[in-house]
Each structure stands twice: as structure tokens, then as C-alpha cells.
Chain A
Amino acid sequence: MAELLQLLVYGIVLGSIITLGAIGVSLVFGILRFANFAHGDLMTVGAYFALVVANLQLSMWVAFPVAFLGTIGAALVIDRVLFRPLRRTAPVILLISSFGVALILRSLVQLIWGSANQVYEAGIQMPYVVMGLRIKPDQITIVLGAVVLVTALHLFLQNTKMGKAMRAMADNVDLARVTGIDTERVVVWTWVIAAGLAAAAGIFLGMDTRLHPVMGWKLLLPVFAAAILGGIGKPYGAIAGGLVIGIAQEFSTLFLSPAYKPAVAFGLMVVMLIVRPKGLMGGRG
């Protein structure tokens, strides 16, 4: 029982990270209408921006905003240079382009920061022991951070004019356009949010494990699985999807080698696509 609860804790931590990535994938899919394969590497970029600050012996409170701004800037430049001219083409062209962006970002990270494993802080964190469960301070930061970010996103989507316009555009692009909504401005905000959350996911992943140029790429499969599980294009579904995938991956280590964790995400995604292709929350008919 204690072992199960311990795995649940790990699952929630991993699920929080996956959720932050999956929301971004879902938002970009809903509004820009393509599956962004560069999203994992955007997380990597965010993690390494934070590493730069951490290496200067500054606190993570400085690292976070720097990584946010850097990653958002990178996403906006990529959109402007590459995705924007392709906006009116077929989604598959955008998808392949995003694959190219993924390779470029990963190579740049490797070129600049090297391919060795790195950490934000050397040394061992002493875990808290609560009712027999071992919980590291970083894990608390990760889960709380994810809760704060998801809550902020929820308030933004429900209460602000831009948030409503984002939902409107995800709902019906053509109608958004004839209503007079400035769709390019909505796109910019979509990248700001998706890249910001990607940076947070990358940093949290780096805190939970370590930094490596393929860290984000390796998480892309579970992130996509979570987005699909939640019904792609629906950011709220991505939250549930992320937690389900994270917890399922950790529980699978009870009877499978941890090396098969991505296979669990993949398996769930396949089953989901067969059984409920519109996602956990269903969808409009």
C-alpha cells in the first residue's frame, strides 16, 4: 500500500509536468491547427535557459522569469519566421516543419550546452517523510507550481477578453475572423502561453531528474498522449490527460521495467484513439 501511494506521488509529479506540456500542445492544435512536434524541444530550451541563471548562482526565482521570457521569445521568432508564412497551407506541412524546428532546437542546445547530463543544484535533497511517504521539496514545488499555472490559465481563459477570443478561435476560426477578431493577435497570445508553460514544464523536468538535450523530446510522446487523451484542442482535457498518463506510467513500474514507461503512454493513446477518439471528456457531436 505504501508503495502504491509512493508511486501515486511520483505519478502526480510526472503528471503535473506532462500536463503543462500537454496544455500547450492542445492550445496550439486548437488554434493553429497543427500538431507541434517542436513542443518537447521548446521545453528543453526553457530548462537550459534556467540553467544559465542557475549557473550564475542566482535563485530559481530569477531563473523562472528569464526562462519564460527566453522561451516565449524563441517561440515567437519561430512562428514569425517559419509558421506564419505557412499558416494557410495544409496542416501536414506545418507538422513536418515543426519536426524540423525540433531538430534545430535540439542541435542548438547540444551545441551550446553540450550533451552531458547537468543539474540545477549539485548535492542531494533530503526528502520529507510524511506518513511513510518520501517527498522531495522540489516535488512539492513542481506540483504547486503546476497548480498555480493551471489556475492562472483557467482564470485567463474564462475571464479575459483575449482568453475568450482564444476559446472562440479554437471553436470556429472562420466565425472568429468574420466577427472581426484579430486572429494574428490571438496566435501571438497562444504562443506566449504555450511556450511559457513549456518552459515551466522543462524546468520542472530538470528539477525532477536532470537536464539533457533530449529531455523534452523524450517527454513528447507522453505529452501528446495526454493531449489526445484529453481530446486534442481542449486545454481542460489536457489537464486530466496529463495526470492519467503520469500516474499510469509510474504504476506500470510495478510490473514492467521502467524503460517501458513511454510504451505505456503510447499504449494508452492507441486504446484511447480506438475507444474514445474525441477524448476523455467526449466532445461535440
Chain B
Amino acid sequence: MTANARALTVENVFGGYGGADILNGLDLRVGPGEIALIIGPNGAGKSTAIKAIFGLVKVRAGTVVYGGENLTGLRPDQIVHRGMCYVPQEHNVFPLLTVHENLEMGAFVRTDDFSHQLEMVYEMFPALVEKRNVQAGTLSGGQRQMVAIGRALMMEPSLLLLDEPTAGLSPIVMDSIFEKIREINGMGIAILMVEQNAKKALTFADRAYVLVMGRKRHEDSGPNILADPEVAEMFLGGGK
């Protein structure tokens, strides 16, 4: 897999679901191969930010530029062709399709031979090998998350958007998912994720954004944000 040096730049984006704007002048950047994290209180527009980047939320003003190309206003099926894939927080597998079919669907728009990529995904998630002919809806939460991430990897993206990849998982499973995310990042794939379990994720994030009311409130490296007493007090539950 080639790690192409593409950066994502979001500038002054306004938008929402049709009513009042949820994003109010959002700025953020993900450099090539970086892990970037979006944290913030409930209703800050974290998931909306990722959806706006991926063309799932109408961008009323502002621009989303990826690898020098303006993606603003493009549909998700056009964006996946440009090396960016998205894993929704919920309902992120096809429950009645088998694990293998889920992965195949990830490569739906590919016309070339993607068997090497299937192998790579099975290598990365060995737990899925014996489940390959099992309906994805019957899997545990952690395994389902692996299928969802594996599906997104089938397009060989250079940037992966993850919406709360560890939501609802036990601490042990959560750690293993974080481990996999770092492994994927180690292959040169940039990651932009929204995360509730912020403390853990901040330890390895190259860049973190604190979102409040649809705007960027703080930006720093993960460890620095973690050390910032104000942020810790407000968004990380203080001493808890």
C-alpha cells in the first residue's frame, strides 16, 4: 500500500441537517499519515463534522479540500474514489450479509483484482477468518467494528474517517480496536476520528481538536491537550 502524501483541509465550514447550522465556521486539518482526533461535549457537532467532510451533511459555506482537490458538495460515492473512506458509528455492517460479503461490498466500486486487499484485511483481523461465512449481524460488537473497519479498508484509502469506533465496547475490546487503528496508521493511512473515550485516544493522537458549538476551541497534539488543565477540567471529566 502506498502512503500518498495527501492532506485534508477543512476551512470555515458552515452546515447542518437543513435547520439551524450545526457547524459554525469549522476549521481543521489532517496531515498525511497523521492521527487526528475530534473531541468535545455532546452536541458540539463532532459527528456532523465528519459527515460534512464525507458529503453526508450539506455544507452551506466553506470548503473541504483533500489532496489539493475540492471535495465540497461531492457525494459519498464520489469521495470514496478519491481515497477517503468512512465508518459510521452505528449500523456500520450489512447484518444479513456474511463477513466476507461485507468486505466484498467495501470494494464494490473497484473493477481491478482486490484479492490481495482481502488477504491484508484478514491478516489484520485474524478473528474474522473463521467468521467469514457468518452473517455479520450475529457478531459481537468488537468483531462488527472490525468488519466495518475492514470494509472501509477495501478501497485502500489514504484517509480513514472513524465515528466513535469504540462506542459501546468493553475496555479490553476498546484497547484492541485502538491497537488496530494505530496499526492501520502505521501503514501510512491517515486517521480522523471522533472519540468519546478521549483520554485513551489522546495519548497517541498527533493532533486533537476540541469542538464546542460547531467551532474549533482548542487545537494541539494529543498529549498536550491531555496535559492542558482547562481542557481536562471541561471535557475529560476532571480527575475522574
Chain A residues close to B by CB (< 8 Å): 161, 164-165, 167-168, 170-172, 174-182, 284
Contacts and interface: CB of A to CB of B under 8 A. Distances in A.
A182 B137 CA distance: 23
A237 to B, nearest CB: 12
Interface stretch (B5-13, B16-24, B80-88, B210-218): B80-88
A284 B139 CA distance: 12
A168 B109 contact: no
B91 A174 contact: yes
A175 B77 contact: no
A179 B95 contact: no
7 contacts: A161-B108, A164-B97, A164-B105, A167-B97, A174-B91, A178-B80, A181-B108
A180 B91 contact: no
A177 B76 contact: yes
B92 A180 contact: no
B96 A284 contact: yes
Interface residues of B, number: 24
A175 B92 contact: yes
B94 interface: yes
B108 A179 contact: yes
Contacts of B104: 161, 164
Nearest to A164: B101
Contact of A180 (B81, B93, B94): B81
A41 B89 CA distance: 42
A63 B97 CA distance: 37
A75 B205 CA distance: 52
B209 interface: no
A161 B110 CA distance: 11
A277 B96 CA distance: 18
A165 B106 CA distance: 10
Contact of A165 (B54, B88, B95, B108): B108
B77 A172 contact: no
B91 A179 contact: no
B56 interface: yes
